[in-house]
Structure 1
Amino acid sequence: MFDNFQPSYIVAITAVISSIALLGYFSWKTLITSNVFQKGINFYKQEDFKGAEVAFRRVIALNSTNDVVHLLLGDTLIQLGKLEEAIQQFQEVIDRAPKKIDAYLRLSNAFMRQEKKEEAITTLQKARDLCQAQRQPEKAEQINRILQKISKNDS
């Protein structure tokens, strides 16, 4: 029955089977990641920040390059009073995606909570400059108002 099979057919069949297996694996991994991510969101909404932290860390273990999860983990860590760890999460996003304005805003918030106003101001200024470069004048103006409030509180 298999006498007429040529080696090229075997290679092609092997390639197809391997592709299907890889597709199945990545689909399964995506489904697992999505489920854990949703659990993290639900924990966060219910203010179960310890549960959210566990879920978001698990998602990062499955997919370490997901910036949204790093930002959400940082937000969760702030709620738990783990400011240094939150700062690390925000900084990691900035290092990987230096034009991600939300990471700068969250980092500035963490610095304010630590009463590091100079670092907060510098970070907000970077966010404002990014907004202007990305043609988001309304957001840049909002950041300017925040910077003015911080400056008035120092006076």
Structure 2
Amino acid sequence: MLETSQQFYLIAAFVVVLGLTIFGFFMREGVATSNIYQKGVKLYQEKDYTGAESAFRNVLSRHPSNDMVHLLLGDVLMQQDKLEEAIAEFREVIRRAPKNVDAYLRLGNALVKQDKLAEAIASVEKARDLFKAQRNPQKANQIDQLLQQMIAQ
């Protein structure tokens, strides 16, 4: 039978090996996800929207809470005229991060493309209000100018 100190060292060694194994898994997963994300961005820049959509969906299957990828997926979907799906992505970001200005602006843009001007204006107004709350009057003024153009339509 092993002495108590030997048992302690075996347990400690096991815990260290287990911890390193788990760390290695997450490192490998993070690198793989990062590579897929970079591929999606590159495909988007090359205007391969179908490929970019696939890459971004792959990233989201691994990390569904990544708001930036939801926004990029929404952009890709808009480029493919999949407006309902894009709107769903933007609304998902807003639901989870209600102070995400980019989500409101992108949602407004998608709603304009659907000829839902009143909803688009409300979304852009929310973005403006968030900029004001963030004490960013320059951005709020830019949004006011955009709103004036939208209202004039």
Provide TM-score, normalisation by structure 1. Answer: 0.94
Give the AA of the match of 2:115: E
Partner of 2:123: 123
Partner amino acid, structure 2, of 1:76: V
Instruction: Note the C-alpha offset of 1:3.
Output: 4.1
**5+ long unaligned stretches in structure 2:** none
Question: What's 1:6 paired with?
Answer: 6
Q: Once structures 1 and 2 are overlaid, which stretch shifts more, 12-21 or 27-36? A: 12-21
Aligned pair 1:28/2:28, yes or no? yes
Name the structure 2 match of 1:75.
75
Structure 1: how far apart are the matches of 2:73 and 2:61? 12
Determine the C-alpha separation between the residues in 2 that align with 1:6 and 1:49. 59
**Structure 1 residue 57: Cα displacement:** 0.3
Instruction: State the Cα RMSD in Å.
Output: 1.2
Q: Which runs of 4+ in 1 moved over 6 A?
A: none
Q: How does 1:61-72 map to 2 (within 5 A)?
A: 61-72=61-72
Specify the alignment match of 1:91 in structure 2.
91
AA partner of residue 43 (structure 1): L
**Aligned position for 1:51:** 51
> Number of aligned pairs?
152
Amino acid at match of 1:92: E
Per-residue deviation, 1:49: 0.3
Note the alpha carbon deviations across 1:38-86, whole angstroms, 9 max, x for none.
1101110110000000000000011111111000000000000000000
| Alpha-carbon distance in 2 for matches of 1:112, 1:12 | 61
**Alpha-carbon separation, structure 1, partners of 2:84 and 2:11:** 53
Cα distance in 1 between the residues matched to 2:106 and 2:42: 21
1:105 equivalenced with 2:123 (yes/no): no
Cα deviations across residues 25-50 of structure 1 (Å, max 9, x unaligned)?
Answer: 00000010011001101110110000
For residues 139 and 8 of structure 1, what CA distance do their matches in structure 2 show? 60
5+ residue gaps, structure 1: none
Equivalent-residue separation in structure 2 for 1:112 and 1:88 (angstroms): 15
The code of the aligned residue for 2:32 comes to I
Aligned partner of residue 64 in structure 2, secondary structure: coil
Matching residue's letter, 1:63: H
Q: Percent identity?
A: 49
